[in-house]
């Protein structure tokens, strides 16, 4: 390299430094926008009203589980039991809300329960699962990866046994009551640009607001971040480590329960397979959205972007008619890129 | 010594599990055959596994290992429920295993069962795209002279032909596709105008594939469309057109987890319907699914969009398996047709082979009323069209 070009490069670098840091700090958003534009050029329908509603709906369906799991990641943990918890609560919700009197009703002696009761049951079951995880993590100082690896397997057995109970005999649980379908998939909002927005989008927005409040405005939320950044410091400053851990995990569990309740109706046919790999998508969404495995770092808005990003990949590739084999490559690439970016920011801070 | 402690713990755990497994087996009714009443109570002493190969062996001397590829598969669950029932009523001692879609897990289970004294194997092989996995099971069985009955997931006949004490009970993997194709063409020819929503003279379809590299999935995906096209063009109609046009990378959407799941179908169908609608005059007019679970997922999405609610407009949806909720959906008018995979027939064919073996040591000695391949010991349980 000649001297002039070196100088030139140095100058250019200095000039563009600010731009560069701006680009790097918002790289994910920029990539997302570029990708969206590229897909929209290949297939203009991608930005049609119905397509945008579809992207929002699918994001809404996967959002609650990601919001839950993010808390576990903030505690430098993770939760592998999320998928099976979603599956179990989906099957339970569906089985309690089948059309009364149908031949394939799982529990013929229980009528169709009121919906709020079923939501409470699903969320309570999720919360109990979470509390179980949290107890082992907090009490025995086991890494959440190990604990939830265990509970995930335990839950699968419960799920396999559950779908064989009652009248069901291992079949898919469907034939859902109309009240359940319309509560989840129906719409109370007026049509926007001729598109119906399903109710579960509203639930996701409410849950996001609730989680934002919990994370940012409550003592519990502050304790969670304190615990995630530095356990010893948190303990010394009077945070009840065990209680906070249990609460973070049960809050996550309650979110899985709610996801299960939504998925039960959204998918309409629930088997022991329901919820498979949901935790991986949720974890991926969180890390893409900047919830760091280093602990104590994460924003609700980041999680929403992470989930949206994953759905964009799924929907975009389908609509651009790209070979689906590439989907995993793109997902993997983005996860690595996002985490590397994240660590870079963290290292700079250090 | 720490290692010793761990070892002791592992052994204790293994014992507990073994006990639990035995406990499960003891549940079977020892009613109709008083001779085996004394046998059932006994712990499973690993008797010489090669013993019962001769003729005239007693049913109660059997120790059967049944290996399923995946407990969470709905159709396989029905076969399992039926097979458990039939084995129970025969008074056969058996143990079920879940391969959990992993071939190495299943192979470990087979080896463990053989060392534990299993003297007849019933195997729903996980990996069937090549006969190697089945060959491994056969080799392990051959060493101890144990008969093997494979079922449901088909593989190349070379493995079956390599061992005389082995047979396969399944379906003809191409048949479901052919049957689905015929059913689709029949339906379309009877309802062409009503199905062709945009009146362009061609029916656009979407295809949901369960898994890549699975024989059944490949054939169903291929033949359902091919056969329907042949029949349609024969009747002077246009061929089916793929909803995304001929430029699409693949003419199907496949479950990313390879799990044939309804969730994948719902997500895809939502995405498809966001782009293709009656408003855009390009609505998908036909949905073909590799199995009923995916069909149910697609229907859930269609219902959200205001179709297939029993009344009003219905997009024809076709599946395979005829599981109970698909039958319910067909009765309710939200689904059009499916191909019945006979779970009871599958289970009773397996049990028939087992009885053959008990009678004279030859699995295939009595195959009256069964469809057998000409060149190997493969029994084909016929499919049946189910339109409600």
Comparing A132 with B25, which gets the higher pLDDT? A132
Residue range B24-45: mean pLDDT, rounded? 38
SS3 state of residue A297: coil
How many helical (H) and strand (E) elements, i.e. helices and strands, does chain B have? 13, 14
Q: Which residue of A has its CA nearest to B294?
A: A269
DSSP letters, A129-149, are HHHHHHHHHHHH---HHHHHH
Helices (H), chain A: 3-25, 27-42, 49-74, 82-96, 115-140, 144-163, 178-185, 199-217, 219-229, 231-236, 241-267, 278-288, 300-319, 326-349
CB of A314 within 8 Å of a chain B CB? The answer is yes
Q: Tokens in use for A133?
A: 């995880």
Chain centroid to CA A179: 26
Lowest-confidence region among A137-141, B14-18, B340-344: B14-18
What is the Cα–Cα distance from A225 to A235, expressed in whole angstroms? Answer: 12
Q: At what angle do helices A326-349 and A3-25 cross, to 10 degrees?
A: 100
CB of A50 within 8 Å of a chain B CB? The answer is yes
* Mutate which: A51, A167, A273, vs B, most B CBs within 10 A: A273
B17 pLDDT above the threshold of 60: no
Q: In chain A, which residues have their Cβ closer than 8 Å to the Cβ of B206?
A: none
Chain A, chain B: beta-carbon pairs less than 8 Å apart: 142
Contact in structure between B170 and B214 (CB atoms under 8 Å): no
Secondary structure element (H or E) that encloses residue B252, with its range: none
Q: Could you report the per-residue pLDDT of B47-81, keeping only the tens digit for each?
A: 444 444 444 457 888 999 999 998 888 888 889 98
Q: Which residues contact A40 (CB under 8 A, 6 or more apart)?
A: A46, A47
Q: Tokens in use for B299?
A: 């229907």
Residue B253 pairs in a beta bridge with: B208
Surface-to-core class of residue A229, CB atoms within 10 Å of its CB (0-12 exposed, 13-18 middle, 19+ buried) = middle
SS3 state of residue B339: strand
Which candidate, A314, A123, A309, places its Cα nearest to that of A207? A123
CB of B271 within 8 Å of a chain A CB? The answer is yes
Its ipTM equals 0.75
Q: In chain B, which residues have their Cβ closer than 8 Å to the Cβ of A321?
A: 244-245, 247-249
The whole-angstrom distance between B277's CA and the closest CA on chain A is 9
Q: At what angle do helices A300-319 and A49-74 cross, to 10 degrees?
A: 140
What is the Cα–Cα distance from B129 to B159, expressed in whole angstroms? Answer: 12
How confident is the model at residue B317, as a pLDDT?
A: 97
B154 pLDDT above the threshold of 90: no
Comparing B88 with A170, which gets the higher pLDDT? B88
- Which residue has 């204790």 as its token pair? B12
Query: Hey, which residues 345-374 in chain B have their CB within 8 Å of chain A?
Result: none
Do A268 and B299 make contact, defined as CB atoms within 8 angstroms? yes
Secondary structure element (H or E) that encloses residue B64, with its range: strand B63-68
- A37, A311, B345 from A42: Cα distances, Å: 9, 18, 50
What is the Cα–Cα distance from B279 to B270, expressed in whole angstroms? Answer: 16
Comparing B85 with B28, which gets the higher pLDDT? B85
What is the Cα–Cα distance from A204 to A173, expressed in whole angstroms? Answer: 24
pLDDT in tens, chain A (350 residues): 455 555 555 555 556 777 887 887 778 788 888 888 988 998 888 888 888 988 999 999 999 999 999 999 999 999 999 999 999 999 999 999 998 877 778 888 888 889 999 999 999 999 999 999 999 999 999 999 999 999 999 999 999 899 888 888 777 888 888 899 999 988 888 887 778 889 999 999 999 999 999 999 999 999 999 999 999 999 999 999 999 999 999 999 999 999 999 999 998 888 888 888 899 999 999 998 889 888 899 999 999 999 998 898 888 888 887 777 787 888 898 889 888 887 777 776 66
Do A267 and B266 make contact, defined as CB atoms within 8 angstroms? yes
Q: Could you report the per-residue pLDDT of B106-127, keeping only the tens digit for each?
A: 998 999 899 888 999 999 998 8
Query: Hey, which residues 326-345 in chain B have their CB within 8 Å of chain A?
Result: 328-329
């Amino acid at each position: 390299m000649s001297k002039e070009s070196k100088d030139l490069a140095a100058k250019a670098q200095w000039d563009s430094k600010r731009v560069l840091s701006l680009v790097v700090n918002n790289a994910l958003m920029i990539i997302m926008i570029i990708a969206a534009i590229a897909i929209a050029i290949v297939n203009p329908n991608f930005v049609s009203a119905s397509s945008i509603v579809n992207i929002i709906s699918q994001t809404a369906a996967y959002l609650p589980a990601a919001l839950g799991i993010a808390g576990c990641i903030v505690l430098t943990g993770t939760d592998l039991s999320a998928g099976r918890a979603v599956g179990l609560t989906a099957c339970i919700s569906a089985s309690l809300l089948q059309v009364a009197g149908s031949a394939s009703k799982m529990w013929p002696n229980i009528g169709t329960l009121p919906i709020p009761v079923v939501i409470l049951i699903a969320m309570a079951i999720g919360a109990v699962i979470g509390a179980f995880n949290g107890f082992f993590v907090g009490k025995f100082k086991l890494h959440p990866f190990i604990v939830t690896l265990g509970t995930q397997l335990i839950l699968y057995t419960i799920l396999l046994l559950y779908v064989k109970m009652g009248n069901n005999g291992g079949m898919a649980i469907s034939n859902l009551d109309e009240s359940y379908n319309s509560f989840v998939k129906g719409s109370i909002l007026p049509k926007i640009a001729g598109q119906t927005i399903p109710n579960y989008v509203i639930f996701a927005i409410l849950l996001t607001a609730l989680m934002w409040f919990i994370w940012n405005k409550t003592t519990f939320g502050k304790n969670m971040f304190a615990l995630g950044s530095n356990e010893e410091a948190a303990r010394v400053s009077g945070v009840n480590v065990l209680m906070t851990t249990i609460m973070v995990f049960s809050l996550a569990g309650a979110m899985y329960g709610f996801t299960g309740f939504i998925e039960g109706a959204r998918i309409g046919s629930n088997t022991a397979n329901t919820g498979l790999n949901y935790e991986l998508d949720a974890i991926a969404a969180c890390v893409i959205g900047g919830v760091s495995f280093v602990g104590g770092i994460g924003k609700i808005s980041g999680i929403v972007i992470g989930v949206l990003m994953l759905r964009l990949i799924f929907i975009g590739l389908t609509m651009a008619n790209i070979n689906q084999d590439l989907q995993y490559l793109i997902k993997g690439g983005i996860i690595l890129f996002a985490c590397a970016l994240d660590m870079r920011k963290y290292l700079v801070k250090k | 010594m720490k290692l010793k402690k761990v070892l002791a713990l592992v052994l204790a755990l293994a014992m507990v599990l073994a006990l639990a497994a035995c406990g499960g087996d003891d549940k079977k009714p020892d009613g109709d055959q008083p001779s085996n009443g004394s046998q059932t109570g006994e712990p499973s002493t690993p008797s010489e596994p090669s013993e019962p190969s001769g003729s005239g062996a007693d049913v109660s001397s059997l120790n059967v290992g049944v290996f399923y590829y995946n407990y969470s598969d709905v159709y396989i669950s029905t076969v399992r429920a039926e097979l458990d029932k039939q084995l129970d009523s025969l008074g056969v001692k058996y143990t079920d295993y879940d391969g959990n879609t992993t071939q190495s897990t299943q192979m470990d289970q087979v080896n463990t069962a053989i060392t534990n004294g299993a003297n007849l194997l019933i195997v729903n092989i996980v990996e069937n795209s090549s006969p190697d996995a089945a060959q491994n099971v056969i080799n392990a069985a051959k060493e101890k002279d144990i008969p093997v009955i494979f079922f449901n997931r088909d593989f190349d006949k070379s493995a079956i032909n390599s061992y005389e004490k082995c047979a396969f009970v399944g379906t003809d993997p191409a048949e479901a596709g052919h049957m689905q194709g015929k059913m689709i063409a029949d339906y379309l020819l009877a309802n062409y105008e009503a199905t062709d929503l945009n009146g362009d003279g061609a029916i656009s379809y979407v295809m949901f594939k369960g898994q890549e590299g699975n024989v059944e999935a490949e054939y169903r995906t291929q033949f359902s469309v091919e056969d329907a096209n042949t029949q349609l063009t024969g009747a002077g109609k246009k061929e089916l057109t793929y909803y995304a046009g001929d430029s699409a990378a693949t003419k199907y959407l496949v479950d990313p987890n390879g799990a044939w799941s309804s969730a994948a179908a719902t997500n895809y169908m939502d995405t498809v319907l966001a782009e293709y609608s009656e408003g855009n005059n390009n609505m998908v007019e036909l949905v073909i699914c590799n199995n009923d679970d995916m069909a149910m997922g697609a229907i859930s999405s269609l219902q959200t969009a205001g179709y297939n609610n029993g009344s009003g407009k219905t997009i024809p949806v076709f599946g395979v398996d005829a599981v109970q909720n698909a039958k319910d959906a067909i009765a309710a008018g939200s689904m059009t047709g499916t191909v019945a995979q006979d779970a009871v027939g599958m289970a009773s064919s397996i049990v028939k082979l087992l009885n053959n073996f008990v009678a004279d040591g030859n699995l295939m000695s009595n195959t009256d009323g069964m469809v057998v391949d000409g060149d190997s010991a493969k029994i084909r349980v016929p499919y049946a069209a189910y339109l409600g």
